[in-house]
Amino acid sequence: MDVKNKYSAIILMAGKSARLGQPKAWLSFDPEFNFIQNLVYQYTQAGIENIVLVTHSQLIKQLKKQIHENLNANSIKIVCNIRPVSDRFYSIKLGLNNIDNSFPVFIQNIDNPFTTSGLLNQMKAKIEPGKYVVPVYLGKKGHPVLLSKEILQHIKEIKSDSEDLRVILEKFSFEEVPVDDEKLLANINTEEDYIKYFNHAIPV
């Protein structure tokens, strides 16, 4: 089987970005890409082309335009969360319902934009049955997380839509990928966060 079909990714971007005041997906990552374009690029560069973007209705039109104009979108699926005020766990379950859970799946947040294809490949090399893989910086777990198919099945069997993924993962063993980049712990939720990691204000 083609290695590209052995891993999938769910990128979560259904929040309203209330503290930031604008969609995080459109924030500038570098002169070429915004956050979502960079993340999709990094995943596809790592051979992960089965990608589900979980978003809300206000972003779908622009998201489709950006993905199809700028990136290889052949295997990218956009899923609308009609309950964006619901917990993040509901978006994860929506994503899992729209992806092949027979192979490991990356869970990626839009506000953690510093994922690289190199990191993704290191994480793929560490996955084992019944475990998950996470990057670790100075003893702290970062982003994204790679879940084995056994954990995915466990999540799908949970009836509640408002669980905490971190609590669920406490039941499972994990493999670490040591990293030397503090940015993999980042959560860009405010303009101050953006300035901290990019050393300039959000471009107008």
One digit per residue, pLDDT tens: the chain, 204 residues? Answer: 344 458 999 999 987 666 787 889 999 999 999 999 999 999 999 999 799 999 988 888 888 887 776 665 567 899 988 876 657 899 999 999 999 888 999 999 999 999 999 999 999 999 999 999 999 999 999 999 999 999 999 999 999 888 999 999 999 999 999 999 999 999 999 999 999 999 999 987
| 180 is a domain residue | yes
The CATH number covering residue 110 comes to: 3.90.550.10
Q: Does residue 204 fall inside a structural domain?
A: no
Q: How far apart are CA 147 and CA 145, in angstroms?
A: 6
pLDDT for 57: 84
Give how far the C-alpha of residue 163 lies from the chain's centroid of Cα atoms, to the nearest Å.
18
- Total domains in the fold of the chain: 1
Which pLDDT value is given to residue 70?
63
For residue 192, give its domain range. 3-198
In a domain, 87, yes or no: yes
117, part of any domain = yes
Q: Which pTM was predicted?
A: 0.92
Residue 172 and residue 129 in contact, taking contact as beta carbons nearer than 8 Å: no
- Here the tokens at position 32 are 């070429």
All residues at 6 or more sequence positions from 150 whose CB lies less than 8 Å from its CB, including other chains? 129, 130
In a domain, 203, yes or no: no
Query: What pLDDT, on a 0 to 100 scale, did the predictor assign at position 1?
Result: 37
Q: Are strands 145-147 and 105-109 parallel, antiparallel or unpaired?
A: antiparallel
Instruction: Please name the residues in contact with 128: beta carbons below 8 A apart, sequence gap of 6 or more.
Output: 148, 175
